[in-house]
Amino acid sequence: MRNLIAALAGLIFGLGLILSGMSNPAKVQGFLDLAGQWDPSLALVMAGAIAAATPLFMLARRRERALLTHEPMSLPTSQRIDRQLLLGSVAFGIGWGLAGICPGPAIVAAGLGKVAILPFLLAMLVGMALHARMTGSRSPQ
Amino acid sequence: MQIDWQHFTPWSALAGGVLIGLSAGLFALLAGRIAGISGIVGGLFRIPMASSNHWRWAFVGGLIVAALIWRLTSSPPAFALSASLPQSIAAGLLVGLGTRYANGCTSGHGVCGLARFSVRSLAAVLAFMAAGFITVYLLRHVAA
């Protein structure tokens, strides 16, 4: 059941990424280019996503167990704002700006057959694997 | 700032965003988990390995099947990558490492975090958005 829900969630998520234009690096950079010809589309992607997700998260947060899998809820509780969070996010933002891609769209673009995305995607996976090696089992998530 | 009306796609952006939000919200409600792509993929490299990573592969499989369905049923979506090979590799490493240290990316902090009213996620979003704006500014208006 958990795997089926994950597959369907991934499917809907992926269709949303393609429909919204997030899988196009040029469009993402067009949004990040405030000083040039600015394409505000991605602000609407975020607005639509947050508007749709908020009521569902409000329902989810009231539960002790997930509605379909009946597993204990595994939602984050940390409110800590530390160096790891901020420096990690800044590093992510620099990479996001450089190429115009974040993790989900990289996978979807590969699925779309865009070979040009592969160096980014492989380097991203190497980065994630490096993090796992460096932090080992100390990483809680 | 000049708005690029030619490339502005408000309706498909909103509709695509709603699909992303529905997916993330339903995943939280039905499976009790965060649909954060960097966390889902990064968890596959965790040491020691989790006992069951099947759901992570299932989610990634769903993303790829979405792309395959799109290819079979619709016209190809616009795609243009301007980064050079060294830029792509540097960007990939930064995105991979950065999202794992920050415990989230545009989906985990941006969509799920803000939808949960998490202050921690808001700080992350402000940090990566600011870094993204500055990077593109330097790339297009200083270095160029």
DSSP string, A45-111: HHHHHHHHHHHHHHHHHT-SB-TTT-PBP---------HHHHHHHHHHHHHHHHHS--HHHHHHHHH
Q: Where are the domains of chain A?
A: 2-138
Q: Where are the domains of chain B?
A: 10-142
pLDDT tens digit sequence for A43-90: 999 999 999 999 999 999 999 999 999 999 999 988 899 999 999 999
- Which of A90, A108, A133, A134 to mutate to test binding with chain B, by most B CBs within 10 Å of its CB? A90
CA B75, distance to chain mean position in Å, is 23
Tokens 């070979």, located at residue: A115
Q: Are the Cβ atoms of A39 and B4 closer than 8 angstroms?
A: yes
Residue A115, chain B, CB below 8 Å: the answer is no
pLDDT for the residue numbered A95: 98
To the nearest whole percent, how much of chain A has pLDDT over 70? 96
Q: Are the Cβ atoms of B105 and A137 closer than 8 angstroms?
A: no
pLDDT tens digit sequence for A9-51: 999 999 999 999 999 999 999 999 999 999 999 999 999 999 9
The phi, psi pair for A33, rounded to 5°, reads: -95, 75
Closest CA in chain A for residue B12: A20
pLDDT tens digit sequence for B59-80: 999 999 999 999 999 999 999 9
Tokens of B101: 């240290």
Burial of A10 (0-12, 13-18, 19+ CB in 10 A): buried
pLDDT confidence tier of residue A141, bands split at 50, 70 and 90: very low
Return the percent helix, strand and coil in chain A, to nearest 5: 70, 5, 30
CA distances from B132 to A36, B91, B124 (A): 14, 11, 12
Chain A hits for B95, CB-CB cut-off 8 Å, are 92, 95-96, 99, 101-103, 106, 120, 124, 127
- Residues 27-66, chain A: which have Cβ within 8 Å of B? 27, 29-30, 32-42, 44-57, 59-61, 63, 65-66
Q: Are the Cβ atoms of A10 and B9 closer than 8 angstroms?
A: no
- Is the CB of residue B124 less than 8 Å from the CB of residue B102? yes
